[in-house]
Chain A
Amino acid sequence: MSVLVLAEHEAGALKPATLNTVAAAVRLGGDVHLLVAGAGVAAVAQVAAQVVGVAKVLVAESEALAHPLAEPLAALIVALAPAYGHILAPATTTGKNVLPRVAALLDVAQVSEIVAVVAPDTFIRPIYAGNALATVRSIDAIKVITVRATGFEPAVASGGAASIEAIAVPGLPGLSRFVEAQLSKSERPELTSARIVISGGRGMQSGDNFHLLESIADKLGAAVGASRAAVDAGFVPNDFQVGQTGKIVAPDLYIAVGISGAIQHLAGMKDSKVIVAINKDEEAPIFQVADYGLVADLFKALPELRQGLS
């Protein structure tokens, strides 16, 4: 059976998580079909056809799909579903919104946020905020799955030559209506969803010194965080704190500056893909989890880092 992947796209480009999802789909065996749904999506369909591992791009062109609303999108996918053994989407806010609706309409379970494929019916997924990993097997005929991007290396974006097929769009429900989007400006991203986080600890010595982190954050498009010790010391407000209840971060890159690595903090960031620690105390526990450790005085290292990124 083939695998259907819901592509996420914006302004004529695929969103990166789509590539990781294709990579997961390839692991399942069978042809991978990428569904590009929207209004005015011809260009993005061309982009999608180049993704290595994709056999066919299905193009659903409709004004009703101009915004990825769950109700019409789910109806569209359900109409396509009988031809597929697996239906995948990235575990983004779009994928997580649409796919459970698809699963319920098909009367099947959804497997949420898988990080590994063990077998075509067996997957690994984090539970309890990543504090445990469950291996689960789906007994449903159609497996509906969202994919956590960090679990899979992205598929190569170009070099493939998938066929492109326009599909008929069925009548779609009009229960919901897009009103507006307020996308974050170029300001710093939010801590919990940032791709890069740079955090300061008590080693920063004062709140004023956080500007050293901010200037690097602006270069990297990173969010700025802090350890509890830094928050307790009054350097920065509570909402900077990583490791606080609900403030688990798992960016691609986490840079810990002047943070010794108290356990609460480690628990809050250990799922980051790459961890960098800059600390002058080479015995600091943070080095036990860091991929790259730099034993240095942060007041020297940070200006250098800022320079190095220019």
Chain B
Amino acid sequence: MKILVAVKRVVDYNVKVRVKSDKSGVETANIKFSMNPFDEIAVEEAVRLKEAGTATEIVAVSVGPQAATETLRTALAMGADRGILVQTEAEIQPLAVAKILKCLAEKEQPGLVLLGKQAIDDDSNQTGQMLAALLGRPQGTFASKLAVADGSVAVTREVDGGLETVALELPAVVTADLRLNEPRYASLPNIMKAKKKPIETVTPEALGVDVAPRLITLSVEEPAKRQAGIKVADVATLVEKLKSEAKVI
């Protein structure tokens, strides 16, 4: 079985983002980018499936600027076999990514597509679900456990209030949640080897995908700072306020 895994280049999770003064977005100049952490978990899961003999080949895909090649290299260093960069400088929204991935999935015919549940930049949490819809295939989102057997995959999902397990017919689309696994470190020798693995570059135009944004960002602002509230005299007043004023207990 072949696995297609999608990885996104995002502002590194350790970077405190800063809204631009002109409110056009967040500052991305000079800051560190890295692979979306949930995508890293997806790659790790793919590699584990390959190590377990369930998967035979892992193809990593990224949609974005030339610099997204680095993100693909990280996936290759973790154990993916080859990469596809869908190169574009344009703003690409989840629906467009899903359409691009659909094209690639039709070409590559993977048994399983793995993605992170959401990217930590736009926090959309859509691409995997959209891809499953466009392919007409089942989806297992927020996965914390996968078990592949006999043409289906059992996905344990992190849902509000606990866990839920669903069985999906393969091919299927699965999105990774935080507890699916703990991704490995890419070792130095593997990073060196990854430099020699192939990365193919295509464009959305060549794939015939319309990537025009459907959502127009009008402004991006910093959230209002919290204001200090009141001091209460004693515990009794506190409990009273929480019950009658804040109504949270």
Q: Which residues of A contact B (CB under 8 A)?
A: 67, 69-71, 74, 92-94, 96-105, 107-113, 122, 125-140, 173, 175-184, 193, 196, 220, 245-246, 252-253, 267, 270, 273-276, 282, 287-296, 301, 304-305, 308-309
Contact = CB atoms under 8 A, between A and B. Distances in A.
Given A109-B93, A288-B228, 14 more contacts: A67-B164, A70-B138, A93-B160, A101-B139, A103-B126, A104-B134, A127-B123, A131-B16, A177-B166, A220-B249, A253-B246, A274-B246, A275-B229, A309-B239
B222 interface: yes
A110 B26 CA distance: 21
B160 to A, nearest CB: 5
Q: Chain A binding site: helix, strand, loop or mixed by DSSP?
A: mixed
Contacts of A126: 123, 223
Interface of B: 11, 13-14, 16-17, 19, 26, 37, 93-95, 98, 120-134, 136-142, 154, 157-169, 172, 178, 213-223, 226, 228-232, 234-236, 238-239, 241-242, 246, 248-249
Contacts of B127: 100
Contacts of A138: 214-215
A142 to B, nearest CB: 11
Contacts of B159: 93-94, 181
Contact of B158 (A67, A93, A102, A301): A93
10 contacts: A101-B129, A109-B93, A136-B216, A175-B138, A179-B166, A246-B37, A246-B178, A267-B16, A296-B234, A305-B239
Contacts of A122: 218
Contacts of B168: 175-177
Given A93-B158, A140-B214, A252-B248, A104 B95 contact: yes
Contact of A71 (B93, B124, B139): B139
B229 A290 contact: yes
Contacts of A309: 239, 249
Q: Which of A110, A133, A305 has the most CB of B within 10 A?
A: A110
Contact of A134 (B126, B161, B163, B220): B220
Contacts of B16: 131, 267
Q: Which of B122, B154, B168, B223 has the most CB of A within 10 A?
A: B223
Given A109-B215, A140-B214, A289-B228, A70 B239 contact: no
B217 A136 contact: yes
A269 B178 CA distance: 19
Which 7 pairs between the two chains have the least Cβ-Cβ distance?
A: A100-B129, A291-B229, A183-B162, A104-B130, A109-B214, A175-B138, A104-B133
A227 B98 CA distance: 39
Contacts of B228: 287-290, 293
Contacts of B139: 70-71, 97, 101, 176
Contacts of B158: 93
Contacts of B130: 100-101, 103-104, 110
A133 B126 CA distance: 18
A99 B126 CA distance: 8
A57 to B, nearest CB: 23
A132 B17 contact: yes
A128 B17 CA distance: 7
Contacts of A127: 26, 121-123, 220
